[in-house]
Amino acid sequence: MKKRRLGNKLEVSCLGLGCMSMSGAYGEALSMDAAAALLRAAFDRGVTFFDTAEIYGPFLNERQLGRGLAGFRDEVVIATKFGFRLKEGEKQSQGLDSRPEHIREVVDAQLQRLGTDHIDLLYQHRVDPDVPVEDVAGAVAELIEVGKVRHFGMSEAAPDEIRRAHAVQPLVALQSEYSLWSRNVEQAVLPALRELGIGFVPYSPLGRGFLTGTVQPDSVPEGDFRHDMPRFSGEAAARNYRLVDALRAIAEEKGCTAGQLAIAWVLHQGEDIVPIPGTRRLERLEENLAAADILLSEADLAAIEAAFPAEAVMGGRYR
């Protein structure tokens, strides 16, 4: 698989694997053996970038990666995240917590769960309004100094927050949602990242599965993370599904699936972008990775933009 560099420092496969769904966000969690098999399959197909977080599970996802990546740990890049107050056995966080002392505690626990002596890329999962981002960046800088962390990143941060943190400890990546139906980063965030030389890691490039065309409106069951998201039900979902139908028509002409076209579109937005589509199934993994080989012309990109205009998307990302 082709490689890309985040922040001109961290080389990764041009597509990573978002691992959240393996620990039960969209249904039952995979067993440790099943998760390990999927991680191995991704690595065997050229994926070297694996994304997790302490809140996925919580904690289970990091344990799945610790076991599943153990045989080839030094050949991959592991990204994980801190920023919530969590308790073992409880599904919901107790709120945000990016206090420096908490970050240090979290990282020590993450290293144990991941079975490694360092974290390649450590993100602040969400900005904590009670802790200055300068203090957060300073705490991560100390962890980098002692070798527990290699690189710093943030998630869903605003340009001003990114600039302030970057001045203390340079970021190599920002992770935020980005896809054909979530394009809010284009106006201010992406320009700021490019000015500062920071890479961009879009999560949910498939619109949490909706852009594949396989998720029907009002079909997400209770217990699924997407059940209460406005875009997946009612009039919003029906309208959004018509956009997916238009995308699927273009994909048929290109000889690919709607999901592959959606991922290819994200890849074509810049060489500094590394999407991390997630899945629990081998056939979907293979389908997603094949998107890296799809070439889109200027005419193709224009057709996609016309069929799926950002302003036509209905419903918020979260309730």
SS (HEC) of the chain:
CCEEEECCCEEEECCCEECHHHHCCCCCCCCHHHHHHHHHHHHHCCCCEEECCCCCCCCHHHHHHHHHCHHHHHHCEEEEEECECCCCCCCCCCCECCCHHHHHHHHHHHHHHHCCCCEEEEEECCCCCCCCHHHHHHHHHHHHHCCCEEEEEEECCCHHHHHHHHHHCCEEEEEEECECCECHHHCCHHHHHHHHCCEEEEECCCCCCHHHCCCCCCCCCCCCCCCCCHHHCHHHHHHHHHHHHHHHHHHHHHCCCHHHHHHHHHHCCCCCECCCCECCCHHHHHHHHHHHHCCCCHHHHHHHHHHCCHHHCCCCCCC
Under 8 Å between Cβ of 311 and 232: no
Angle ∠(109,114,116) on CA atoms, nearest 5: 95
56 tagged catalytic: yes
10 Å CB burial of residue 319 (0-12, 13-18, 19+) is exposed
**Catalytic residue chosen out of the listed positions 56, 123, 178, 203:** 56
Supply 150's token pair: 């290699």
State whether the Cα torsion 211-212-217-222 is positive or negative.
negative
Enzyme catalytic residues: 56
